[in-house]
Amino acid sequence: MGREQWKKIWVGSAGNMVEWFDWFVYATFAVYFADAFFPKGNETANLMNTMGIFAVGFFMRPVGGWLLGRIGDRRGRKAALTLTVTLMSASAILIAIAPTYQVAGYGGVAVLLVARLLQGLSVGGEYAASATYLTEASAPAKRGFASSFQYVSMTAGQLVGLGLQITLQRIMSDDALHSWGWRIPFIVGAVGAGIVFYLRRSMLETEVYAESGAAVDENRGTLKVLWAHRREAFLVMALTMGGTVAYYTYTTYLTKFLSSSAGMAKPTASLVSFCALFLFMCLQPLAGMLSDRIGRRPMLITFAVGSTFLTVPIMTMLKHAGTFWPALGLAILALVIVTGYTSINACVKAELFPTGIRALGVALPYALANALFGGTAEYVALWFKKAGVESGFYWYVAGCAAVSLVVYLTMRETRDIDLNRAERVPGTAPAPSRAPA
C-alpha cells in the first residue's frame, strides 16, 4: 500500500474518529446528564427519555444519508466528508451550552433535540462517505484491510470518550460530573472537529471516483438510479440489521448494562468497556486482512452464527459477572464475535454498488437499518428492563442476528468485484470509455 493511500486512510480515519467521539459521548455520559434536562425523580425514566432523544438522532440518519450520499456521488467524497464534520462540530457546541431543566425548563431538551438532529444528519452521511472513501482509496487486494480502519477510528473515538470519562471520574466528584462536568467532552469534541475540518479541506479525492466518469453523469447520486439498484439496497439493510444491534449492545449499552443491571460501580463498568474496546479496535485490521484472503461471506457468517447462539448465554453471564475480570472476559468474547461484521461491513456494502451511486447506495439503506435497529437498541433494552423481563432483550439481539444469517448465507461474495467497472442502469448516461484500471 503506497504512501498516498496511507495518507488518504489516515485523513479519513482521523475525521471519522472525531465524528464518532461526538456521537458516542452522548451515550456514555448520558448517566450523568439525564437528570439535568428532566424533573428529578425516576432515574430509569429520565435515562429512557435521554436515550429516546439519542434514538431520534438515528431517525435523522436516513435524511443525512440521502443528502450527504447525494453530495458524495455528485460532488465527490471529499465534499461530503468536509460537510459532515462541520455539522458535527455545530451539534457538539449546542450540547455543551444547553441549559438545564432548572434554568430553562424543557428549553434545554429542545436544544438537546436540535443537536441530536444535526448529529443524525452528520453521521448519516459520514458512515457512507468514509466507507466509500476508504474502500476506493485502497488497493483492490487490500480493500478489507483498508476499510477496517473505519471501525478502528470509530472505536478509537469511543475509547477517547471512555478514557475521558474514566479520567473525569477520578479527578472530579460525582456531584460535579452531574452538575457541569458532563459538558467537558462536548467541548473537546467541538475543538477536535475544528481540527479535522482543516485536515479534510486538503484531503485528496479518490482515483476511482475521479476517473470513473461518474462526475459527468447528471443522474449520479439520485433516487432514480438507487431504485435501479434496489436489490442491493435492500441487501444492505438486511445484512446491517443483526450487526448494528449487536454492535450497539456491546459498545454503547454495555457500560450502562454493567452498572444498572449487573450492579457494578460506574468506574469499574467504564474500565471494562475501555479494555474490551481497545482489544476490539486492534482486531479490526487483522480481520480485514483475513477477509482479503478468504472472502467476506465467511466472516459475516461466523459473526451471525456466534451472535445467534451465544448472545443469550453471554448477556446472562454478564448480568451475574459481579467483578472486573469475568465481565471483561465475556465482553471480549462478545466483541470478537462482532468483529466478523464490523471489520468488513464497510467494504462489503461499497462493493455492491457502481461508483456513480456508491455513496448514496451505502448511506440511505444503512441509515434506515440503523434508525430501525441500531438507534433503538438501548431504548428496547431499557423497555424490557422496565417491564421486568430484561432477558427478552437478549433474545431480541439473537433474533436480529438470525435474520442477517439467512442473508449472509444467500448473498454473493464481493471480494473480487472491480470497483472501476463501468455499469449503466436504465435511464442514465453511459460513462465515457476509458482504459481499465
Return the top range by mean pLDDT from 9-23, 55-69, 143-157: 143-157
Query: Which of 84-98, 105-119, 192-206, 322-336 shows the highest mean pLDDT?
Result: 322-336
pLDDT at 424: 41
Mean pLDDT of 98-123: 86
Confidence of residue 421 (pLDDT cuts 50, 70, 90): low
Give 158-194 pLDDT, tens digit per residue.
889 878 988 998 899 988 998 899 999 999 999 998 8
Among candidate residues 357, 375, 414, the one with its CA nearest the CA of residue 219: 357
Q: What is the mean pLDDT of residues 391-414?
A: 96
Alpha-carbon dihedral angle through residues 231, 406, 153, 319, given to the nearest 10 degrees: 140
Of residues 214 and 20, more confidently modeled: 20
Q: pLDDT band at 423, cuts 50/70/90? A: very low
**Tell me, what amino acid is at 141?**
A
Mean pLDDT of 29-53: 75
Q: Around 93, how many Cα atoms within 13 Å sit in the side-chain half-sphere? A: 11
In this predicted structure, which of 37-41, 220-224, 349-353 has the lowest mean pLDDT? 37-41
- By C-alpha distance, which of 245, 252, 229, 246 is closest to 362? 229
Q: What is the DSSP letter of 424?
A: -
- Would you state the pLDDT for residue 152? 93
CA-based nearest residue to 200, from 17, 338, 426: 17
Give residue 27's pLDDT. 77
Report helix angle 184-201 to 3-28, nearest 10. Answer: 160
Inform me whether the pLDDT recorded for 14 exceeds 70. yes
Average pLDDT, the chain: 87
For residues 266 and 169, the answer to whether their CB atoms sit within 8 Å is yes
Query: What is the amino acid identity at position 308?
Result: T
Where does the pLDDT of residue 422 fall: very low under 50, low under 70, confident under 90, or very high at 90 and above?
Answer: very low
Q: What is the DSSP string of 269-290?
A: HHHHHHHHHHHHHHHHHHHHHH
Residue of 141, 47, 59, 124 lying closest to 87 (CA atoms): 124
DSSP H or E run through 325: helix 324-342
Q: Which of 348, 327, 329, 323 is nearest to 128 (CA)?
A: 348
Q: State residue 217's pLDDT score.
A: 65
What is residue 431's predicted lDDT score, i.e. its pLDDT?
39
Q: How far is CA 73 from CA 120, 346, 389, 392, in A?
A: 20, 17, 45, 41
Q: Which of 18-27, 83-92, 149-158 has the lowest mean pLDDT?
A: 18-27
Confidence grade of residue 43 (pLDDT, cut at 50, 70, 90): low
